[in-house]
Amino acid sequence: MQNNEQNLNAEQAAPAVEPVQQVQQAADAAAPSPLATYEAMNASAPVVDASVIEERVKRAAGERKSSPLGAIRDENKRRRDGENREGKEGKDGKKEGRRERRERPTAAPRGPLSSVPTPNRRARLSDDLEDEFNALLSGESLDSLMKNDKENVGGATLEEGTKVRCRVEAVQRDSVFVDVGGREHGLIPLKQFPEDAQPTVGQEFDAVVSRFNAEDGVYDVSLPLAAAEVGDWLSLTVGAIVEARVTGANKGGLECEVGRLRAFMPSGQIDRFFVQNAEQFVGERWKCVVTEVNPERRNLVVSRRVLIEREREELREKTISELAVGQAREGLVRNIIAVGAFVDLGGVDGFLPVSEMSWGRVSDPNEVVKVGERINVIVTKIDLERNRISLSYKDAASDPWKKIDETFVEGDKTRGRVTNVMAFGAFVELAPGVEGLVHISEICYKRIAQVSDALQVGDFVDVQILSIDREKRKISLSIKRLTPDPREEAKRQRDAESAAAEAAADAQAEAEAAAVRERIKKNRPKGPLMGGLSNAGDNPFGLHF
């Protein structure tokens, strides 16, 4: 108990948690350097360019076309798409008809076969019953009888392990006589109290009921987390707290010694979570709770998990009263699973999702945290009704989106790694914690049936940044815009050929017109014509007067 008080005092003396705003301000003052992109980190990595993508798409289309399964799948898709709306409405009508048949009201249940009338609970008692009831009261009020009965029932039903509020009534030799409430009393061994904290008459404290001593008519009570001395089988009771030393390990659990007795601790009772390597605990001493005692079969079973849960329950209320969204706390990693880790905040477990472990993608949580490691986390969500507390391990100061404008600019070319392939596009990681989307229409100029035909997870690609949305943390990327559009190139070639053909036609027409003019010039007479006609240049009509 002394150690528990020291730990509690140490926790109270610890500095209060620092708000997230102060953490962010201190980190902003540090001014971290700009992010390193994949273009710099993987300059020598093979890049999947447009020619590789086009070759992959062509090969995938050929394989799909030549595959019998692909042909059957395409035929089924065309058949499903060809179903008209009338057929669909007909199916909906059939479903509606079946629904109406299901919702058809059933016949009303039959009445009772017996004709015996049901007694009315609000009706007045008969004269005989009322006289008998008044005689039982014996002049005492009904409220006082109910109060006394409630106190007697409550005092006689204290179960093992119940936490009660005790008041010291007397200290006699090796025992402390206490009042546990409800007209019940109990005894606590005096040796459970520290030497510097001896009990006094009238002192109140919390204790735990061990068992009911029917011979003396009192409860055996012990201080919370106090270990009892074990000498023989008669001194052991279910629910008692004892000290056990781990002597060995087997497939089922741990072999222990409780005093001079051999005990066993199942593997599921070692800790709150499953323990894979039980041999690491050999030689340690733990406080445990007795869960099973059978002197005839020499069977003694203890549990450390029950005691841990009791300790956590005592800390739970204190921790919950201190928790707040946005608070930074220190926690102990208890267990790691594929989608995250459970962190003990002090009597309360919080869940750290794998998406909140790092700004970048995390494939294995064990690469970020380890079981038994103490980490600083931030409380992001509290749901006490569902008993869920969400945490984050991301350092708010190292958020790569804070200086995204300094690292990436719209229209720039950069290099990234494909992290995920979806039906609508592929996600490309430009830097740790910064991802952009290449839509399926921005991968290649040719039509792509599936994104996986062109890109695969792990490919390094060169992309062009189309747009950056800092508020929504979205970046639009394009691969095809880094290469000329073959359709535009073909259009320009067609336009050039058309312009050349038109110019050639105009030149030919001009040449033909020039030849005609030259022939007319040659055939014009040199002297005056007979009949009053003239070829004078000043007389365009050729008339001579």
**For every one of its 545 residues, what pLDDT tens digit does the chain have, with 9 covering 90 and above?**
444 444 444 444 444 444 444 444 444 444 444 445 555 555 666 788 878 888 888 888 777 666 555 555 666 666 666 655 555 555 555 555 555 555 555 544 454 444 445 555 556 666 666 666 565 555 555 555 555 544 444 444 677 777 888 888 888 777 888 888 877 888 888 877 777 778 888 888 888 887 787 777 788 887 765 555 555 676 678 888 888 999 999 888 999 998 888 899 998 898 877 888 888 899 999 889 889 988 888 889 999 998 888 887 778 878 888 888 888 888 889 888 888 899 988 888 899 998 888 777 777 888 888 888 888 888 988 888 888 889 988 765 567 777 787 788 888 888 888 988 999 999 998 887 788 999 999 898 888 888 888 898 888 999 998 998 888 888 899 998 888 888 888 888 888 888 888 888 888 898 888 888 888 888 776 666 555 555 555 555 555 44
> Which residue range forms the structural domain that includes residue 423?
400-483
374/434 same-domain check: no
Please count the other Cβ atoms lying within 10 Å of the Cβ belonging to residue 7. Answer: 12
Residue that finishes a domain, picked among 365, 382, 398: 398
- 448 and 465 housed in the same domain: yes
Q: What is the mean pLDDT of the chain?
A: 75
User: What does the H/E/C string look like for 368-429?
Assistant: CCCCCCEEEEEEEEEECCCCEEEEECCCHHHCHHHHHHHHCCCCCEEEEEEEEECCCEEEEE
Domain check: are 475 and 509 in the same one?
Answer: no
One domain for residues 468 and 411: yes
The answer to whether position 150 is within a domain reads: no
Calculate the alpha carbon distances from 63 to 60, 67, 337, 456 in Å: 5, 6, 39, 17
Domain assignment of residue 418, yes or no: yes
Could you tell me which residues are beta bridge partners of residue 392? Answer: 378
The residue behind tokens 């040659």 is 522
Q: Is residue 317 part of a domain?
A: no
Structural domain includes residue 271: no
Contact 327, 379 (CB under 8 A): yes
Per-residue model confidence (pLDDT) at position 116: 47
Nearest one of 441, 450, 446, 439 to 485, comparing CA atoms = 446
**Of 369, 398, 427, which residue sits at a domain end?**
398
Q: Domain containing 446 — which CATH number? A: 2.40.50.140
- Do 405 and 479 fall within a single domain? yes
Q: Are residues 366 and 422 in the same domain?
A: no
Distances (CA, A) of 78 to 19, 90, 300, 313, 436: 59, 20, 71, 62, 34
Q: How many residues does the chain have?
A: 545
Task: Answer whether residue 155 is part of any domain.
Answer: no
What's the confidence (pLDDT) of residue 54?
A: 82
In a domain, 505, yes or no: yes
Q: How do residues 476-527 score in pLDDT, each as one tens digit?
A: 999 988 888 888 888 888 888 888 888 888 888 988 888 888 888 887 766 6
Q: How many domains does the chain have?
A: 4
pLDDT of 15 reads 42
Say if 369 falls within a structural domain: yes
Residues 391 and 426 placed together within one structural domain of the fold: no
**Coil, strand or helix at 37:** coil
Q: Across 117-203, where does the E strand assignment appear?
A: 163-172, 175-181, 184-189
Shared domain for 335 and 385, answered yes or no, is yes
| Contact present, 385 and 344 (Cβ < 8 Å) | no
The residue assigned the tokens 């030849």 is: 515
Q: Are 461 and 422 spatial neighbours (Cβ–Cβ below 8 Å)? A: no
Specify whether 410 is located in the same domain as 342: no
pLDDT score, position 102: 52
Do 353 and 377 belong together in one domain? yes
Which residue from 211, 214, 239, 213 is spatially nearest to 227, judged by alpha carbons? 239
- Confidence at residue 497, expressed as pLDDT on a 0 to 100 scale: 86
Q: What is the pLDDT of residue 114?
A: 45
User: Can you give the pLDDT at residue 264?
Assistant: 92
pTM of the model: 0.41
Q: Out of 398, 423, 447, pick the residue that ends a domain.
A: 398
Is residue 334 domain-resident?
yes
Give the separation between CA 432 and CA 374, rounded to whole angstroms: 24
d(CA 224, CA 310): 9
Which sign does the torsion angle of CA 484, 487, 493, 496 carry?
Answer: negative
Instruction: For residue range 445-488, list pLDDT tens digits in order.
Output: 888 888 888 898 888 999 998 998 888 888 899 998 888 888 88
453 & 415 share domain: yes
450: left (phi over 0), alpha (psi -120 to 50) or beta: beta
Residues 425 and 365 placed together within one structural domain of the fold: no
pLDDT of residue 38: 56
